[in-house]
Chain A
Amino acid sequence: MVRQVFETTAEPSSTHEDRWQPRKARPPAILIIPALLVSALTLSPIAYLLLREGLSVQRFLHEISSPTTSNLILHSALLAFSVTFVCAILGIGLALLVVRTDLPYRRVWTVLFALPLGIPAFVSSYTWVAASYQLAPQATFLYGLRGAVLVLSLAVYPYIYLPVVAALRDLDPAQEEVARALGAGAVEAFFRVTLPQLRVAIASGGLIIALHMLAEFGALELLRYPTLTTAIVQRVTVLSAPEAARTLSTVLAIGALLFLASDRLLRGRPTAVRTGSGVARRSEPWRLGYATPVWLIFSGTFIAIALGVPLFSMIAGMARVIGNSGAGVSWGELLEAAVNTGRYALVTAVVATVAAFPVSMLSVRYPGRLATLVERSTWIAHALPGVVMSLALVYLSVRWLYPLYQTSSLLIAGYVILFVPIAIGAQHVGVAHAAPHYDQISRSLGLGPLATLFRVTLPLAFPGIAAGAMLVFLNVGKELTMTLLLHPTGKRTLSTALWNTTNGEVLDFSTAAPYAIALVVITAIPAWVLVRHSLNPPRRPGE
């Protein structure tokens, strides 16, 4: 359904078209060729890693056996698993709270719980570290795995929360009621009937989070938790050992493949889906009763921590800037950076949406080995550190596409490579919704294939497509490491300007605050639209 914006399953699992089976026919070339091109584009950084001189089995073994490497791989894996696990608990728990209980002001909480999506991970860790120094200077609680899991989970859990909210609202309560009628308790019914149906939503959000954790750098440096990625970045930025960085990055790519494979396993066999027409009836909410104030306090505290800490540091910093009558901040530059960020994000959202469409059409309408390979391949680059992505693009463009080097176009190509899988994931849901039946009816009524695409398929798939574009927009705004290296000289974005005011070494958040606030405002817009989208589903055709 439309609202499961993150779904990446190859199966159109929740269309209400019961009789329609995926065609076994060969997909048309008009889909295969663009999809393969997109796949090739997203694999180009991987090709660079493997083909650039300097990679050899010997070198690989040397890097793998260097004393720190195994420990760093362990750190990366631990971080990815722990953050994904904590996010799954938070995401499912909060979603149940706002969808399935009679908590007061549920709509407000639904929106508030989703908003951390708009704050970049490096900004929120920044504010956490700043707040920790301010409140408890000697405390080292925030550093290491514990702090990293805490801060990053609070920054990225919405990637699971949002699709689970959407999936929960879409579930037919009848199945759970049947389970209850057959004697299962509320808890057992939830675990045996409801949770399995949320698997796709959880797995797709979890995949985004796990791959993000493999690639995260800025936040982890601030939180003093070295991972394979921080080591790779240090090899490039301090030790001038790009060969070593490339070799270690192949390990991350392998890690990404493992996550992609386990994601397939997690989805497992299809579960029962609702096949009736119309919208599912709302389930009977669980009454919180006397526990209501407890849950209200819990929700308030949670938001105070997840949103309050970053906002507090930003607003306090902003207050200092205003108290200082704006000294140290150039408003013209701020505006320019904001315009650049907005423009890059917009253009990337459009380009990534167009690029993602053939891939999502292919994998929804012609599921099979080819479709799966193409769709999965687009994810691998998502786990590469931004530094390595930019090394690849600098190398490729200087040699073969020199006119593009240090232009906005190359930067946007980089963004598209990073974020096209996210757009594909969201489009899946929309495209699955635009079942081929409607195409056939349209064609039988005399419309040509192109007119059918524009007048039937795209409008039906539009909500999913729009959700994908929003997510891409948001992620471009938040991206830091690749932008630092690929931006056209002299063009600052909000995230690079924010980082450069501090170089991650100044805990005084004053000069950074206006940039952070502008960034959060820009990314909060798509985040908010996404939430509204999850709350007010557009009606299905024929209703």
Chain B
Amino acid sequence: MLAIRRSSGALLALSLCILIVTAACGDGASPTATVATAPTATASAAATSTSTSGGTAATPTAGAETPTTAPESTATVSAAAPTATSTEATPSDATLTVYSGQHESLTKALADGFTKATGIKVEVRVGSDAELANQIIEEGDRAKADVFITEEPSQAGALDGRGLFEAVDPGTLAHVDGRFNPASGNWVAYAARSRVIFYNPDKISEAELPQSILDLANPEWKGKFAYAPSGAFTATVTYLINTIGEDATLEWLKGIKANGENLQKNGAIRDAVEAGQISFGLSNHYYWYILAQQQGGQDKLKSKVHYMSGGDPGALVLASGAGILKTSTHQAEAQRFLAWLTDADGGQQVIATTTPQYPLAPGVTSSMGLRPLDQLDPPAFDQGSLQDVSKARDLIIEAGIV
């Protein structure tokens, strides 16, 4: 008796399970269907960057109509009206896939802004620069990404070095401060961050800070500072290899390992310095400004930012790069994304108002109270020269840091 009642319960549960699986499978099938239409867009997405429709079956007439629209036409998509910019807005059914090494909030703000301005939908995939670069390499010629935007120049350069990037429209490159674009012209710098020192004045005065980060290998700094093997740290190491050579760089790394405290993350350095756990640390400027924003003002923080000068490697300004994958079937939309991203009235405004990173279009200044970019004193170098991270990686491992 009992067994029978139980078995009906079990059967009920089983049929429920089957129902769920069927429901879930049905659901999984629909995105595949959307993806399947994408490759056919190649034909229509010709090189004309002004007006191409990525859409296929759904808008067969779009391709025919758009050429008649004047390049300066106002937005035809109703939602785009308020923020329509000089980037002309033509309707498109293409969905652009953007892989982003940037923090999720900024990436989403940029994606939303672009969709608003152009009507082109954007899907974002957020991860670390290196993780996503590796994923793009693994995807090979079946890459899902149309556009890759990074936090740091290294990984944009790495993909460029492998010949995976399409050339960026010269007009787009001209949107931003040319110092930050790579010599190759295959990716464009759309934002920048400065390497800095965060210090806690209760523990050390600004005058006592080292003149150069190269000094930190000296025993006098033992136990005084923190560092993190982040992407920007790796970029610094690559820069050092390029300028002072491998041997000297390895010596320096060994000194850093011996003297400094490895806190793993730039954010952890900021918090540890702010809390007074350690005197100072090497990090990126914007972490401090994010905290200042959260605490309600820069004067609410104990810690301070020290910008190195005299072209010291501790003052590197690193560009965030955006590139278009050669395998992308939405070349025109992708070029438009980059054009908008670097436009003084488009993406640069989003960067100026949502993140304490530096916008790079002339005339756009951050609203986050940053020290102006032209008052920094970074070393001059080609951002594209940081593309080979393999030596830096070997030295970092050899020095025992990771």
Interface residues, chain A, CB within 8 Å of chain B?
66-68, 133, 137-138, 140, 221-222, 224, 226, 230-231, 234-242, 244, 343, 346-347, 350-351, 353, 387, 391, 394-395, 398, 402-403, 405-409, 454-456, 458-460, 462, 466, 484-485, 488-490, 500-501, 503-508, 539, 541
B217 CB–A CB distance under 8 Å = no
Interface residues as binary, B1-12 with A (CB distance below 8 Å gives 1, 0 otherwise): 011101101110
In the complex, chain A residues whose CB is within 8 Å of the CB of B262: 226
Q: Are B7 and A456 in contact (CB under 8 A)?
A: yes
Which residue from chain B places its CB closest to the CB of A503 in the assembled complex? B103
* Pairwise interchain contact B142-A402, C-beta atoms closer than 8 A: yes
> A489, B271: Cβ atoms under 8 Å?
no
Most chain B beta carbons < 10 A, residue from A238, A244, A406: A238
A506: chain B residues within 8 A (beta carbon): 267, 290, 294
- Chain B residues contacting A455 (CB-CB under 8 Å) are 3-4, 7
- Additional A-B contacts beyond A234-B229, A235-B402 (20; CB < 8 A): A66-B397, A68-B402, A133-B275, A137-B276, A240-B134, A343-B27, A346-B24, A398-B142, A407-B32, A409-B28, A454-B7, A454-B11, A454-B14, A455-B4, A456-B7, A458-B10, A489-B125, A503-B104, A505-B268, A506-B267
The complex places the Cα of A459 from the Cα of B262 at a distance, in Å, of: 55
A343 close to B277 (CB less than 8 A):
no
Q: Contact: B6 with A238, CB < 8 Å?
A: no
A224 touches B396 (CB 8 A): no
A485 engages B127 (CB within 8 Å): yes
Q: List 27 A-B contacts (CB under 8 A).
A: A68-B400, A137-B274, A138-B275, A234-B402, A235-B393, A235-B402, A236-B134, A237-B128, A237-B130, A238-B231, A239-B229, A239-B402, A240-B134, A240-B155, A240-B389, A241-B393, A346-B24, A350-B20, A394-B138, A455-B4, A458-B7, A462-B13, A488-B31, A500-B103, A500-B104, A505-B266, A505-B287
> How near does chain B come to A486, taking the closest CB pair, in angstroms?
10
Q: A541 contacts which of B3, B31, B104, B234 (Cβ < 8 Å)?
A: B3
Whether B397 pairs with A244 at a CB distance below 8 angstroms is yes
How would residues 77 to 104 of chain B score, 1 for a CB under 8 Å from any chain A CB and 0 otherwise? 0000000000000000000010000011
Assess whether A242 is in contact with B134, with CB atoms less than 8 Å apart: yes
A133–B270 Cα distance when bound, in Å, is 12
- B391-402 vs A: 1/0 string, CB under 8 Å? 011001111111
Q: A224-B268, A408-B24 are in contact. Are A454 and B127 (CB under 8 A)?
A: no
In the complex, B170 has a CB within 8 A of chain A:
no
- Complex interface: chain A residues within 8 A of B97 (CB): 489
Q: Flag whether B17 is at the interface (Cβ < 8 A).
A: yes
Chain A hits for B7, CB < 8 A: 454-456, 458-459
- Contact: B271 with A490, CB < 8 Å? no
A93 vs B192: C-alpha distance when bound (angstroms): 55
B residues lining the A interface (CB < 8 Å): 2-4, 6-7, 9-11, 13-14, 17, 20-21, 24, 27-28, 31-32, 97, 103-105, 123-128, 130-131, 133-135, 138-140, 142, 144, 155, 158, 229-231, 234, 262-268, 271, 274-277, 287, 290, 294, 389-390, 392-393, 396-402
Alpha-carbon distance between A403 and B129 when the two chains are bound, in angstroms: 25
A455–B5 CA distance with the chains assembled, in angstroms: 10
Complex CA gap A67/B158 in Å reads 27
Residues in B with CB closer than 8 Å to A408 are 24, 27-28
Q: What residue in chain A is nearest B97 (Cβ atoms)?
A: A489
For the complex, what is the distance from the CA of A68 to the CA of B402, rounded to whole Å?
7
How far apart are the CA atoms of A477 and B325 in the complex, in Å? 34
Residues of chain B with a CB closer than 8 A to A462's CB: 6, 9-10, 13
Residue contact B123 to A489, C-beta cutoff 8 Å: yes
* Whole-angstrom CA separation of A466 from B12 in the bound complex: 13
Asked whether B3 lies within 8 Å of A459 as measured between CB atoms, the reply is yes
A351 partner, pick from B21, B142, B265, beta carbons under 8 A? B21
> Chain B's nearest CB lies how many Å from the CB of A392?
11
**In the complex, which residue of chain A has the Cβ closest to the Cβ of B125?**
A489
CB distance from B159 to the nearest CB of A (A): 11
C-alpha gap A234/B266 in the complex (Å): 14
With A398-B140, A488-B31, A505-B267 as contacts: A454 and B10 at CB distance below 8 Å: yes
CB distance from A489 to the nearest CB of B (A): 5
Q: Assess A239 versus B287: contact at CB under 8 Å? Given A394-B135, A489-B123, A490-B124.
A: no
Q: How far is the CB of A205 from chain B (nearest CB, A)?
A: 26
The 6 A-B residue pairs with the shortest CB-CB distance in the complex, in nearest-first order: A505-B267, A137-B275, A500-B104, A67-B400, A459-B6, A240-B130
| Count of inter-chain pairs, beta carbons less than 8 A | 166
**Shortest Cβ gap from B220 to chain A (Å):** 23
Q: Looking at A221, A226, A395, A406, which has the most chain B CB atoms within 10 Å of its CB? A: A406
Q: Contacts A350-B20, A505-B266; is A239 near B396 (CB within 8 Å)?
A: yes
Closest Cβ–Cβ distance, residue B39 to chain A (whole Å): 12
B107 to chain A, nearest CB (A): 9
Contact between B397 and A68, CB atoms less than 8 A apart? yes
A239-B140 in contact (CB<8A): no
A407 to B32, CA, bound (A): 8
Query: Chain A residues near B126 (CB, 8 Å)?
Result: 500
A138 contacts B139, CB within 8 Å? no
A462 to B274 CA separation, bound complex (whole angstroms): 55
Nearest CB on B from A533, distance (A): 14
Q: In the assembly, what is the distance between CA of A458 and CA of B13, in Å?
A: 11
Report yes or no: B17 in contact with A350, Cβ–Cβ below 8 A: yes
- In the complex, which residue of chain B has the Cβ closest to the Cβ of A138? B276
When distances are taken between beta carbons in the complex, the residues of chain A under 8 Å from B264 are 221, 224, 226, 230
A459 to B32 alpha-carbon distance, docked (Å): 37
Contact A490 B142 (CB under 8 A): no
Select which of A224, A343, A394, A489 is within 8 A of B263 by beta carbon: A224
B266 contacts across to A, CB distance below 8 A: 505
- The residues of B that contact A484 with a CB separation of less than 8 Å are 127
Residues of A close to B400: CB separation below 8 A: 66-68
Q: Closest residue of chain B to A71, judged by CB?
A: B400
Taken together as a complex, chains A and B put the C-alpha atoms of A239 and B103 apart, in Å, by 18
Task: Please indicate the chain B residues that have their CB under 8 angstroms from the CB of A231 in the complex.
Answer: 402
A157 to chain B, nearest CB (A): 26
Complex Cα distance, B134 from A241, in Å, reads 9
Looking at B103, B229, B275, B397, which has the most chain A CB atoms within 10 Å of its CB?
Answer: B397
Task: Tell me, in angstroms, the Cα distance from A231 to B2 when the chains sit together.
Answer: 55
Q: In whole angstroms, how far apart are the Cα atoms of A140 and B287 in the complex? A: 21
Bound CA–CA A402/B139 (angstroms): 9
**Most A-side CB within 10 Å, residue of B134, B230, B263, B287:** B134
Q: Contacts of A403 on B, CB cut-off 8 Å?
A: 32
Contact across chains for B3 and A456 when beta carbons are under 8 A apart? yes
Partner of A237, one of B14, B131, B399: B131
- Give the distance in Å from the alpha carbon of A361 to the alpha carbon of B17 in the complex: 20
**A7 CB → nearest B CB, Å:** 21
Q: Kindly list chain A residues whose C-beta atoms are within 8 Å of the C-beta of B271.
A: 133, 507
B268–A347 touching, CB < 8 Å: no
The docked-state distance in angstroms from the alpha carbon of A295 to that of B27 is 51
Is the beta-carbon distance between B229 and A240 smaller than 8 angstroms?
Answer: no
Interchain CB contact under 8 A, A66 and B398 = yes
Query: Which of A239, A343, A405, A485 has the most C-beta atoms of chain B within 10 angstroms of its own C-beta?
Result: A239
Do A236 and B130 form a contact, CB below 8 Å, given A244-B397, A403-B32?
yes
List, in ascending order, chain A residues with CB within 8 A of B105's CB.
Answer: 501
Instruction: List the B side residues contacting A406 at CB < 8 Å.
Output: 144
Minimum CB–CB distance from B209 to chain A (whole Å) comes to: 21
8 Å CB contact of B265 from A68, A489, A504: A504
Which residue of chain B is the closest to A510 with respect to CB atoms?
Answer: B294
Q: In whole angstroms, what is the CA distance A66 to B7 when docked? A: 59
Write out the residue numbers on chain B whose beta carbons fall within 8 Å of the beta carbon of A244: 397
Whether A485 lies near B135 (C-beta < 8 A) is yes
Shortest C-beta distance, A223 to chain B (Å), equals 10
Residues of B within 8 A of A503 (CB): 103-104, 267
Residues of B within 8 A of A224 (CB): 263-264, 268
